[in-house]
Amino acid sequence: MIDYPSIRTGISPVRRRSTLTKRDAPLVQKAIALSTGLTLRYVEQGDRSGVPLVLLHGVTDSWRSFEAALPHLSQSIHAFALTQRGHGDSERPASGYRTRDFAADIAAFLDAMGLRSAVIVGHSMGTTNALRFAIDHPQRTRGLFTVGTFASYRRNAAVTDLWESAIATMTDPIDPSFAREFQQSTLAQPVPDDLLQTAVQESLKVPAPIWRAAFAGMLEDACANDLGEIAAPTVLLWGDQDALIPRLDQDALLDAIVDSRLIVYRGAGHAPHWEEPERFAQDLTAFVERCG
C-alpha cells in the first residue's frame, strides 16, 4: 500500500457502529439522458411539489455519498442525489472533466427534470461544481450549501502532493487498499463499516483515466476569481478536524461570497455528512426551508 502522509488524519481504525439507516423502501437508482449528451444516474425522494434540492458528491464518490443523510432529510423537500459524469454508474466520457463541464450537467439535469431552480449542495469536488453553477446560473440557484470547500486546489499542499505522488501516474486496476486509504483519510471520527466500504466500492468503479481527469480539472479550476458574483445565500459547512482544508480557506470564502455564513462541526473531518448524517440533514433542512 502506498503511503500518503500528507492526507493522513491519524484516526483509529474505523469501529463498527450502527449500519446505514434503514428506509421503509429503498431508493431506486434512475437514469436520465441530458442535453449535454450524457446519461447520468440519480435517486429521488420527497414531495414533488417541495423545494428542489440537488446533492453533488466529491471526487470518485457517487449519489451514495449522501445515502446515510437522506433518510433524515425532511420529506417536504424534493431531493435529488446525482452521480456526476465519470463516477459511479453514470456515463464516462473520455473528456470533459472541467468544473464548467460538471456545472453544465447540473443545468441540463434541471432542464430534464423540468425545474427552473434548486438549492445546490456539494461535498468537496462537488462544492466547486456547485459554486461554478451558481456563478454561471444565478437565476437558477436558490441557495448553496457546501461541505468541505476548498478555496484553491492548486495552492493546497495535500491535494498537490496526492496528485504528484499518486494520481498523475495512476493506472488501472485501482488498488483497493489505496481506495480505502483515500476514503478513510477524509474521516476524523468513526463511521459504520458499511458506509466506508460503500465509499471504497464506489471509488473502485472509477477508472484511472477518470481519477486523473477529475483531479486535473480541479487543479485547473478558477472559481476563486468569480466568487464575488455569487448572489445566492450560501452556507459553508466545515469540520474543524478536516485534514485537507484549513480554517483559512473558509475565512477566504466567507470574505469572497457576500451572503455567506459558516457552520463548524467540532471534531468532524472532511466528510461531516458521513460522520454526523442526522445533524447534517437537520442543518440542511433548515437552510432549504429558508430558501423555499
Q: pLDDT (tens digit, 9 = 90+) per residue, 94-110?
A: 999 999 999 999 999 99
Residues 178-196 have a mean pLDDT of 97
Query: Residue 150: pLDDT above 70?
Result: yes
pLDDT at residue 242, as a whole number:
98
Task: Label residue 228 by pLDDT band (50, 70, 90).
Answer: very high
pLDDT at residue 292, as a whole number:
84
Helix locations, the chain, DSSP H: 99-112, 125-136, 157-162, 176-184, 193-205, 208-220, 247-256, 272-275, 277-291
Task: Label residue 24 by pLDDT band (50, 70, 90).
Answer: low
Q: Contact 100/134 with Cβ under 8 angstroms?
A: no
Residues 59 and 66: their CA atoms lie apart, in Å, by 13
Task: Label residue 18 by pLDDT band (50, 70, 90).
Answer: very low
DSSP three-state, residue 177: helix
pLDDT at residue 25, as a whole number:
73
Query: Residue 200: pLDDT above 60?
Result: yes
Task: Label residue 22 by pLDDT band (50, 70, 90).
Answer: low
Q: CB neighbours (10 Å) of residue 229? A: 15
Nearest to 268 by CA among 233, 247, 239, 290: 239
At residue 76, what are phi and psi to the nearest 5 degrees?
-75, -10
Tens of pLDDT, residues 42-61: 999 999 999 999 999 999 99
Residues 195-220 have a mean pLDDT of 98
Tens of pLDDT, residues 107-129: 999 999 999 999 999 999 999 99
Residues 281 and 236: their CA atoms lie apart, in Å, by 14
Residues 237-265 have a mean pLDDT of 98
Q: Where are the domains of the chain?
A: 27-291
Give percent of the chain above pLDDT 70.
92
Fold of 27-291: Rossmann fold (3.40.50)
- DSSP letter assigned to residue 167: I
| Strand order across the beta sheet in which 30-33 lies | 30-33, 39-45, 78-83, 52-56, 118-123, 141-147, 234-239, 260-265
Q: What is the mean pLDDT of the chain?
A: 93
